[in-house]
Amino acid sequence: MKYTLEPINAKTYNGDLVFLYGDEAASRDLPLGKKELELLGARREEKRDQLLVFDRLPYHLYVVSFDSELEAPLTQEKLRRKAMELLLRLEADKVSSVALSGEGVLPEEVAAFVEGLTLADYSFDRYRTADMWHLDSLVIDSIYLKPEELEANQKLWNRIQWCREWVNLPVQDLNAAGFADELASIAADLEGVSCTVMDKKKIESLRMGGLLGVNRGSVDEPRFVVLEYKGSKQAPLCLVGKGVMFDTGGLNIKPGSYMEEMKSDMAGAATMASVLFAAADNRLPVHLVALLPMTDNRPGYNALTPDDILTMYDGTTVEVVNTDAEGRLILADAIAYAQKNYDPALIITAATLTGAAVRAISTFGIAAMQENADNPYTMLSLVGKQVYERLVEFPMWEEYDEMIKSKVADLRNSTSSPQAGTITAGKFLAHFAHGTPFIHLDIAGVAYFSKPQHYYRYGASGYGIRLLYAFLQMQDMMAKGM
């Protein structure tokens, strides 16, 4: 989509126009006749959130009515969702270029609406033979956004869309080696970003038993990718993302439909790489290290079996109880590597880790846990409410440690109980942080949607990137005393 900033006179604009209207007290610039104003008023009395379409042959006027009196985060989220409704109407009307203006609307509300349009307009079209409809161009009234603000947002949205593309790609076209090569290529073009790609031989020299163990059943070699962006001289924030390129479950193979969409099991790695790239694109003054262990999980060759015992990067021994609890094994090696080699101020993990997270909170937020990170977590949770990528905190009480103790090793990678599956997975990961402030984000319910939701179409969402990017912005503002 091409974005342009221009002054727009809504009353005289000659073209398809989207008009945001949020406040009855401001009505001077409404491009409506008397009867149309009466209709709008009556509809707003019934319900503030409305999409009304008026013919301006050969063009259309799309009036997006919304409630500006709600709390700002909720107002902005409703506008993002309204953008999806508008986009579907534009598609039905075969309108591919529109202008955007408004009355009784704030700049941040306009930005949220444009964000919703952008996210809603993405679909995974790479393998379609027919041309798919998309919004080609959007002219935004320049009174609402500055060029530098729009440019920064565009760079963030671009990284979200690329994350979605990676997650949507089948493993036949994006395995661990291919993904690592693509990340290295992107990093080479970004100022201040370095990329280290470790192959199987190097991973073996590091004795990463978790990553090597999960990879044993696959014909494709694993990779361990470390991206670093030095936007400041502070201790780094380490972003660890699960990169299981496809998850069959291993010998504990997933039944039928549970294996569908498992190409998305690398969403954590795609998310963390995208956050780092977005920070570098916009030159945020932060120090980030993204650590991305990558492999697929298959039942072939000398595949990992239940009762196997692995020795992890930090020397911890782990009894394998279930080969479908593989994500935590590869993440554990990466967390321990981050803790030992980077002395981070904070470690954050993102992973499509447990079905239990989906069963607990459905597809409306992120199951989150933390140890020794009260203040960063509080900030992250606050930011989550602002951008509407919300967190639900699960407890990390010491009693849960008993559930992952092994009789034959230091830890077991799963429990035999259906209880507390999300929490015990988080406790397993926290062990490898060795006291470093640690936050875990289980994005299993939000990384990939099997049907359209809000302003996301079918498939990958990029959920979590806006959250973490805003968290980095907030850290910068606090450091400056703003």
For the cut 70, the answer to whether the pLDDT of residue 476 exceeds it is no
Instruction: Supply the pLDDT for residue 256.
Output: 83
For the chain, give the percent of residues with pLDDT over 90.
Answer: 93
Q: Which of 144, 169, 195 is the last residue of a domain?
A: 144
Instruction: Supply the pLDDT for residue 480.
Output: 61
312: CATH:
3.40.630.10
133 with 228, same domain: the answer is no
287 with 415, same domain: the answer is yes
The verdict on whether omega for the bond into residue 236 sits within 30 degrees of 0, i.e. cis, is no
User: Does residue 149 lie within any of the structural domains?
Assistant: no
* Confidence class for position 416, pLDDT limits 50, 70, 90: confident
65 with 208, same domain: the answer is no
User: Does residue 58 lie within any of the structural domains?
Assistant: yes
Partner residues linked to 243 by β-bridges: 294
11 with 41, same domain: the answer is yes
138 with 162, same domain: the answer is no
6 with 121, same domain: the answer is yes
Distance CA 87, CA 95 (A): 9
203 with 228, same domain: the answer is yes
User: Does residue 330 lie within any of the structural domains?
Assistant: yes
For the cut 80, the answer to whether the pLDDT of residue 25 exceeds it is no
For the cut 50, the answer to whether the pLDDT of residue 167 exceeds it is yes
For the cut 80, the answer to whether the pLDDT of residue 26 exceeds it is no
Model pLDDT for residues 263-317, shown as the tens digit of each residue: 999 999 999 999 999 999 999 999 999 999 999 999 999 999 999 999 999 999 9
Q: Which of 99, 117, 144 is the last residue of a domain?
A: 144
Task: Kindly state the average pLDDT of the residues 188-209.
Answer: 98
Report the 10 Å Cβ neighbour count for 375: 10
418 with 455, same domain: the answer is yes
CA dihedral 207, 210, 216, 221 (to 10 degrees): -70
Report the 10 Å Cβ neighbour count for 259: 13
* Confidence class for position 28, pLDDT limits 50, 70, 90: confident
For the cut 70, the answer to whether the pLDDT of residue 481 exceeds it is no
284 with 355, same domain: the answer is yes
* Confidence class for position 482, pLDDT limits 50, 70, 90: very low
319 with 226, same domain: the answer is yes
81: CATH:
3.40.220.10
Instruction: Supply the pLDDT for residue 284.
Output: 97
167 with 123, same domain: the answer is no
User: Does residue 151 lie within any of the structural domains?
Assistant: no
Cβ neighbours of residue 458 under 8 Å, at least 6 residues apart?
A: 123, 124, 449, 450, 451, 452
User: Does residue 403 lie within any of the structural domains?
Assistant: yes
Instruction: Supply the pLDDT for residue 257.
Output: 87
* Confidence class for position 381, pLDDT limits 50, 70, 90: very high
Task: Kindly state the average pLDDT of the residues 108-129.
Answer: 97
For the cut 50, the answer to whether the pLDDT of residue 351 exceeds it is yes
* Confidence class for position 96, pLDDT limits 50, 70, 90: very high
106 with 214, same domain: the answer is no
Instruction: Supply the pLDDT for residue 335.
Output: 98
Residues annotated as part of the active site: 254, 328
Task: Kindly state the average pLDDT of the residues 229-237.
Answer: 96
For the cut 80, the answer to whether the pLDDT of residue 327 exceeds it is yes
Instruction: Supply the pLDDT for residue 479.
Output: 59
pTM: 0.96
**Could you tell me the CA-to-CA distances from 463 to 158, 161, 198, 258, 428 in Å, in that order?**
13, 11, 27, 21, 24
Task: Kindly state the average pLDDT of the residues 450-475.
Answer: 96
Q: Which of 118, 144, 170 is the last residue of a domain?
A: 144
Instruction: State which residues form the domain around 139.
Output: 2-144
User: Does residue 150 lie within any of the structural domains?
Assistant: no
Domain count for the chain: 2
For the chain, give the percent of residues with pLDDT over 70.
Answer: 98
CB 54 within 8 A of CB 130: no
As to burial, measured by CB atoms within 10 angstroms (0-12 exposed, 13-18 middle, 19+ buried), residue 147 is exposed
